[in-house]
Amino acid sequence: MESGLDPADLQAVWLTLKLASVTTFLLLLIATPLAWWLAHSRRWYKGFVSALVALPLVLPPTVLGFYLLLLMGPQGAVGALTKSLNLGTLPFTFAGLVIGSVLFSLPFAVQPIQNAFESLGKRPLEVAATLRANAWDRFVSVALPLARPGFLTATILAFAHTVGEFGVVLMLGGNIDGETRVLSVAIYSHVEAMEYAPAHLLAGGMVLFSFIVLLGLYLASGKSWQVRK
Amino acid sequence: MSWIRVHFKMQLDSFELDAAFSAPPLGVTALFGPSGSGKTTLLRCIAGLERTTGWLRVNGEPWQDEKTFMPVHQRPLGYVFQEASLFPHLSVRANLEYGYKRIAPSERKVKPEQVVEWLGLGRLIERKDPARLSGGERQRVAIGRALLTSPRILLMDEPLSALDSNSKREILPYLERLHRELQIPVLYVSHAMDEVARLADHLVLLEQGKVIASGALQETLARLDLPTAHFDDAGTVIEAEVAQHDEKYHLSRLDFSGGHLWVSKVAQPFGTRVRARVLARDVSIATQAPQGSSINNILNARIEEIRDEGPDKVIVRMKVGDTHRLLSRITRRSRDNLGLVAGMYVCAQVKSIALMA
């Protein structure tokens, strides 16, 4: 092929986008209530939860991947459960990758949203309560729109972080065409096989894509916002 | 209509709140006290924004007791915070209508047009970004937003204290108008006596989490056993009626049961009820009607009580007419020279009067 990209590479691009989209979507669903709880709870175990959520920031991805592999494998607790449900085991499947990515990118989604909720303070919610809004209404009509910059940051970080993920995927998913072979792994394989032309194309494409996504979101947000890690 | 009955207790580190009072079902009740006296906390307990042990009954309906705690959003109240706290993501109109949309259509007794008129919001309502309004404008929108929930009680937490003096002057006439138009009770937290004298009908005095006095404004301000009578700006309030305009000298005559007061000409037509605040330091006492005095306002009064105030001063409470009181701060020497005692009839000379709409 003249372009230097074979169909497997295109499939890797597609798989990466799919993984990042699914992961980001699930992360927003999980991170929003978690961030709300962390922003408002005064329970003694809040510190433990915060530390657990932040753990992927400091752990090498291979460590996380290793434990997930054990946990979801045939001998692991999760693996035993999925087998008993006739779902097989999760490693080396797309679903397994999604779980790994969600855990790995959790702090990147939780922390910006949590910061946004915390910086709101109590006042807007109190005002809404005195204006007859119940708890859910207050959350939807006041907290969510006012935390928008935090959600934007969380979305970008979660998506970008998943696109760039390598270690967890390699430990957990290997290199199966159309199932777990994402871009970063494909680039790695090409380089290992001394195929520099497709590696260049994929790597360069990724740089360009990431830049365009970030630029678009910065421009769309209209306001300056900060990425806090 | 039944009175609002309140009793709350709260222990917060070194601060202890144990406050009970009743407020009339109409008019403005001021919760007045120095900062740290617990007045804002008390108001937040009434709104349900703080949860503590206590008892609260509004319109005969229990909002809180041993068994009940009505959540904030179910209480038919309006709350105006110290800072306007408009929602930054909503337009001025959407801010105004936030609560209005959340009550049943049959409950919407206060209409947006009314609020726009009362608070002069006509030119503000189409503005998109509430952050670009002035402080006074924002607070007017916040008051309108609270009123549009057709509350059965309005709670205001120092709504003027975050404003500069110009914004305060701009907003006070609107508050006075609300005072006349609204047929609901208002609880107004303040530490500024001039606001209280202007707006309140009923006064609840707080000190270190306790209610030390509660009663009609005019009577309570005249009580010499309370700290308010010993402030530098101690004084009383007289409700009077505009009775005559003197075009030649640009003066107006205000009549009340204790006589009349001449003030700089007012814009109000005859028959308008106005409030005049007379400070103790602006009232002097003569035992006979003075001859050749430049003072326009001399009222016949009877001394009711005299209290020492420091080594050199005394404060005198006098009754004028049926119900009105004046305070006068004079030196101890003057009291002894004139032989002033309770029960004596005297002439109260009023040097200056602050007219409050």
Residue A134: list chain B partners with CB under 8 A: 71, 73
Residue of A nearest to B48 (CA): A130
- Residue among B49, B73, B83, B101 with most chain A CBs within 10 A, to mutate: B73
What is the mean pLDDT of each successive set of 10 residues along chain A, which is 229 residues long? 70 91 96 95 93 92 91 88 85 90 95 95 95 96 94 90 87 82 89 90 88 78 46
Residue A177 confidence (pLDDT): 80
The average pLDDT across B223-249 equals 93
The reply to whether residue A146 touches residue B81, judged by beta carbons under 8 angstroms, is no
Residue B79: list chain A partners with CB under 8 A: 127, 130
Residue of A nearest to B142 (CA): A127
The reply to whether residue A137 touches residue B88, judged by beta carbons under 8 angstroms, is no
Cα distance from B210 to chain A (closest Cα, Å)?
A: 25
Which residues are bridge partners to B112 per DSSP? none
Which of B308, B310, B297 minimizes the C-alpha distance to B352? Answer: B297
Homologous superfamily of domain range A7-228: MetI-like (1.10.3720.10)
B319 compared with A5, residue with greater pLDDT:
B319
Query: What are the start-end ranges of the E strands in chain B?
Result: 4-12, 15-23, 27-32, 53-58, 61-64, 77-80, 153-157, 185-190, 202-207, 210-216, 235-246, 251-256, 259-264, 273-279, 283-286, 297-309, 313-320, 324-331, 345-350, 354-356
Q: Which of A123, A130, A142 sits opposite B72 (nearest CB)?
A: A130
Per residue in B127-142, pLDDT (tens digit) is 989 999 998 899 999 9
Per residue in B136-165, pLDDT (tens digit) is 899 999 999 999 999 999 999 999 888 888
Per residue in B34-72, pLDDT (tens digit) is 988 999 999 999 999 999 999 999 988 999 999 999 999
Question: How much is the ipTM here?
Answer: 0.87
The mean pLDDT value of chain B amounts to: 92
**Residue B328 banded pLDDT, cuts 50, 70, 90:** very high
Q: Which of B49, B89, B99 sits opposite A131 (nearest CB)?
A: B99
**Residue B357 banded pLDDT, cuts 50, 70, 90:** low
Q: Which of A123, A131, A134 sits opposite B98 (nearest CB)?
A: A131
Report the length, in residues, of chain B: 357
Which of B235, B272, B234 minimizes the C-alpha distance to B256? Answer: B272
Query: For tokens 């059965």, what's the residue?
Result: B152
For chain B, say whether A142 makes contact (Cβ under 8 Å): yes
Residue A4 confidence (pLDDT): 64
Cα distance from A124 to chain B (closest Cα, Å)?
A: 7
Which residues contact residue A42 at a Cβ distance below 8 angstroms, ignoring those fewer than 6 apart?
Answer: none
Residue A3 confidence (pLDDT): 53
Residue B74: list chain A partners with CB under 8 A: 132
B108 three-class SS? coil
For chain B, say whether A177 makes contact (Cβ under 8 Å): no
Cα distance from B167 to chain A (closest Cα, Å)?
A: 22
For the stretch B229-251, what's the b/e string if a residue is b when 16 or more beta carbons lie within 10 angstroms of its beta carbon?
Answer: bbeeebbbbbbbebeebeeeeee
Cα distance from A171 to chain B (closest Cα, Å)?
A: 45
For chain B, say whether A88 makes contact (Cβ under 8 Å): no
Tell me if B237 sits within 8 A of B326, measured CB to CB. no
Residue A40, H or E segment? helix A7-40
Cα distance from B97 to chain A (closest Cα, Å)?
A: 10
Q: Which of B71, B88, B149 sits opposite A131 (nearest CB)?
A: B149
Residue type, A206: M
Residue A227 confidence (pLDDT): 40
Residue A2 confidence (pLDDT): 45
Residue A87 confidence (pLDDT): 82
Residue A223: list chain B partners with CB under 8 A: none
**Residue B327 banded pLDDT, cuts 50, 70, 90:** very high
